[in-house]
Amino acid sequence: MDTPKIFESEYKFCTILWEREPINSTELVGLCREKLGWSKATTYTVIRRLAERGVLKNENATVMSLVSREEAQSARIDELMRETFSGSLPAFVAAFVNRRGVTKKELEEVRRLIDEFEEET
């Protein structure tokens, strides 16, 4: 099953949820007011929309995610690569490195990840 799309403002909401779940919806409303400046109605609208798309569930005033942070991040990267780099990982990495640069420590970590991936395949 594909990960449901989570839009930018929804992603910010989800970060609050992931840090505190399961969480009472009233408490979540307060956190969204404090951290996002949202009204109670906005928060409940986002909860309803994300529940309809299968991102979270809200049962007995307790909100829990159905999509993990890692799944959401992977889906966002996949979408970015498809839309911006025609699905090319080398083009994505080249653009990232050319723009931002990479430290020696980051390069070592990437090499380690690639080595681990090669060992698994």
**pLDDT tens digits along 69-107:** 999 999 999 999 999 999 999 999 999 889 888 999 999
Domains and CATH numbers, the chain: 8-69 (1.10.10.10), 88-121 (no CATH)
**Per-residue pLDDT, 40:** 98
pLDDT digits (tens, 9 = 90+) for 26-82: 999 999 999 999 999 999 999 999 999 999 999 999 999 999 999 999 999 999 999
Beta-strand (E) ranges in the chain? 23-24, 56-59, 62-65
pLDDT, position 10: 97
Neighbours of 29 (CB within 10 A): 19
Total-model pTM:
0.80
Question: How far is residue 32's CA from residue 9's CA, in Å, rounded to a whole number?
Answer: 11
45 and 28 Cβ atoms separated by less than 8 Å:
no
- Residue with token string 């911006």: 84
- Measured in degrees and rounded to the nearest 5, phi and psi for residue 58 equal -130, 100
